[in-house]
């Protein structure tokens, strides 16, 4: 198969490299010329474990290449994936589809033989119809079918997720397109990945329903954590106790500072808008969004509570800024509103992240960026663990306690045992767990 990926970001680059690794011939197109030049020099513009090696080996075997020329990439392709961004539209929360439509127009102009055009970007119900209309308008002679094939990979584990997906969703009523998509994913049959064939609109809705459901689980356990704190219960044990029930499942039941990242915040908002536009309001998801929004500043109040509610003149050390470990992605990271709230309360903020520093510097102001966790803690009145990077799980707390102004740990990911931290002389505040005696 000859595959063209339009958009070489987190999804396009990982999917493109994995398809090439399956044996397909893939060209990844991006209109960011700097990105394409970097890729052609062998540099990977994002941090994703294993991606550099996967890209290098497939480039070497001549199955993967990069270009900024959409027309050249589309000519001769069997399948063209659109994997460009769909951020929240400024002001109203609808998905901004301008990148998808611009890509569709460029693809349309270059179509010749029958080509399957696939939206891999997360797009609201009906976007496939609009992409089809745009292509037909732009190139009335084009022979093509538009398919929805949403992506479910998670940053930080993207290659594994792509190669061992829980399911693949393919939305189309076109028999020929369905056969071609089956060939594209045939290498995954060996991994017994279930394929859900459905219509295009249903496929589009599956992606939003999945992300919104996961966001709901997170918001749910966070509210249970708040209650657990008030009544002296332990949210981690509640999560285990309910998660062992197969109908509930153990995943996405970790209490923390609220969800963030490049998908959940924008996708929940976009689904709410789709619901409102179609007179089917999604009140549960509206509440999830509101609960999650309030939570991030509430986490700053949790830090303040360790100081009798007053953070003025205090130095707070923040460990971890990316929205989760093993990525450099800072889009909508909970650390951003949390740090702003700490600053609003009069604290000065020092921060460290293992790979997210460069991205963090672009979005955070008045923060002292440190070179490691120990330098970050030095002189601070409180250490706040925001992202659970592996390297924060076994810090030398004794050493830290000596260098901090006051030994306080606010562990927003519950990665430490309260008793162990207290034994090292710290005041410990976790999420939804009883305070150590």
Do 18 and 92 meet the contact criterion of CB atoms below 8 Å apart? no
Query: Segment near ligand NAD (CB under 6 A), from 101-109, 128-136, 217-225, 336-344?
Result: 101-109
Q: Quick check: helix, strand or coil at residue 214? A: helix
State how far the Cα of 216 lies from the Cα of 292, in Å rounded to an integer: 9
Tell which positions 62-91 bind ligand NAD, by CB under 6 A: 70, 83-86
- Taking CB under 6 A as the criterion, the residue among 12, 258, 334, 430 binding ligand NAD is 12
Q: How far apart are CA 111 and CA 132, in angstroms?
A: 13
Q: At what angle do helices 200-231 and 235-243 cross, to 10 degrees?
A: 140
- 31 sits near ligand NAD (criterion: CB under 6 A): yes
Q: What is the DSSP letter of 278?
A: T
**Positions marked catalytic:** 263
Rounded to a whole number of angstroms, the CA Rg of the chain reads 23
Task: Quote the CA–CA distance of 151 and 132 in Å, as a whole number.
Answer: 20
266 appears as a binding residue in the annotation: yes
State the number of binding residues for ligand NAD (CB under 6 A): 28
Which tokens hold the place of 91? 């002001």
Q: Where does 56-97 show beta strands of DSSP type E? A: 64-67, 79-82
Query: Contact between 172 and ligand NAD (CB under 6 A)?
Result: no
Residue nearest to ligand NAD (CB): 9
Name the one range near ligand NAD by CB under 6 A: 10-18, 246-254, 295-303, 374-382. 10-18
At closest approach, how far in Å is the CB of 18 from ligand NAD? 13
Of the candidate residues 48, 151, 328, 353, the single one contacting ligand NAD (CB under 6 A) = 151
Q: Which residue number, 105 or 178, has a Cβ lying nearer to ligand NAD? A: 105
SS3 372: coil
- Residue 155 marked as a ligand binder: yes
Residue count of the chain, please give it: 437
DSSP 329-387: --TT-THHHHHHHHHHTT-EEEEE-TTTHHHHHHH--SEEE-SSHHHHHTT-SEEEE-S
- Closest approach, Cβ 372 to ligand NAD, in A, equals 27
**Nearest approach, Cβ of 70 to ligand NAD (angstroms)?**
6
Site for ligand NAD in 240-279 (CB under 6 A): 262-263
Annotated binding-site residue? 254: yes
Q: Is 23 annotated as a binding residue?
A: no
> Is 35 marked as a binding-site residue?
yes
Other beta carbons within 10 Å of 277: 12
The least CB distance from residue 207 to ligand NAD, in Å, is 7
- Count CA within 13 A, CB hemisphere, residue 385: 25
Find tokens 């789709």 and name the residue: 274
Strands of the 382-385 sheet, one edge to the other: 367-369, 348-352, 315-319, 382-385, 408-411, 427-429
Q: Confirm or deny that 256 is annotated as ligand binding.
A: yes
Among 1, 2, 32, 405, binds ligand NAD (CB under 6 A): 32
C-alpha–C-alpha distance, residues 411 and 178, integer Å: 48
CB of 5 to ligand NAD, least distance (A): 9
Residue 108 labelled as part of a binding site: no
The residue from 16, 22, 26, 30 that contacts ligand NAD (CB under 6 A) is 30
Q: What are phi and psi of 166, to 5 degrees?
A: -65, -35
Residues that bind ligand NAD (CB under 6 A): 6-12, 29-32, 35, 70, 83-86, 99, 102-103, 106, 121-122, 151, 153, 155, 262-263
Residues of the binding site for NAD(+)? 30, 35, 86, 122, 155, 266, 331
Residues of the binding site? 30, 35, 86, 122, 152-155, 207, 252-256, 260, 266, 324, 331
Residues of the binding site for substrate? 152-155, 207, 252-256, 260, 324
């Amino acid at each position: 198969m000859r595959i063209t990926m339009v958009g070489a970001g987190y999804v396009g680059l990982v999917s493109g490299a994995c398809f090439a690794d399956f044996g397909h011939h893939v060209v990844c197109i991006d209109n960011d010329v700097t990105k394409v030049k970097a890729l052609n020099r062998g540099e990977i513009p994002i941090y994703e474990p294993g991606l550099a090696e996967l890209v290098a080996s497939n480039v070497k075997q001549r199955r993967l290449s990069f270009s900024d020329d959409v027309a050249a990439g589309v000519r001769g392709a069997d399948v063209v994936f659109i994997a460009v961004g769909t951020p929240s539209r400024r002001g109203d929360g609808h998905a901004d589809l301008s990148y998808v439509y611009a890509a569709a127009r460029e693809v349309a102009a270059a179509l010749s033989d029958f080509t399957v055009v696939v939206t891999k970007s997360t797009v609201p119900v009906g976007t496939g119809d609009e992409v089809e209309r745009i292509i037909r308008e732009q190139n009335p002679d084009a022979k093509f079918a538009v398919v929805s094939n949403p992506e479910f990979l998670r940053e930080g584990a993207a290659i594994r997720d792509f190669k061992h997906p829980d399911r693949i969703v393919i939305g189309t009523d076109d028999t020929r397109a369905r056969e071609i998509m089956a060939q594209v994913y045939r290498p995954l049959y060996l991994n017994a990945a279930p394929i859900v064939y459905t219509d295009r609109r249903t496929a589009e809705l599956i992606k939003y329903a999945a992300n919104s459901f996961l966001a709901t689980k997170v918001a749910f356990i966070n509210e249970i954590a708040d209650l657990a704190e008030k009544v002296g219960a332990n949210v981690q044990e509640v999560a285990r106790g309910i998660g062992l029930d197969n109908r509930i499942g153990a995943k996405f039941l970790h209490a923390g500072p609220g969800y963030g990242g490049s998908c959940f915040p924008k996708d929940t908002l976009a689904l709410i808008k789709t619901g409102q536009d179609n007179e089917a309001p999604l009140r549960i998801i509206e509440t999830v969004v509101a609960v999650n929004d309030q939570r991030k500043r509430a986490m700053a109040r949790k830090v303040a509570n360790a100081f009798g509610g007053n953070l003025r003149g205090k130095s707070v050390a923040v460990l971890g800024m990316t929205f989760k470990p093993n990525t450099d992605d800072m889009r909508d990271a909970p650390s951003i509103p949390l740090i702003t709230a700490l600053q609003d309360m009069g604290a000065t903020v020092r921060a460290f992240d293992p790979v997210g520093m460069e991205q963090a510097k672009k979005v955070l102001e008045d923060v002292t960026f440190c070179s490691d966790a120990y330098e970050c803690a030095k002189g601070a009145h409180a250490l706040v663990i925001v992202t659970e990077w592996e390297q924060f799980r076994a810090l030398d707390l004794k050493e830290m306690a000596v260098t901090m102004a006051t030994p306080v740990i606010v562990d927003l990911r519950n990665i430490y045992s309260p008793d162990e931290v207290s034994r090292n002389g710290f005041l410990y505040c976790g999420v939804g767990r009883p305070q150590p005696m």
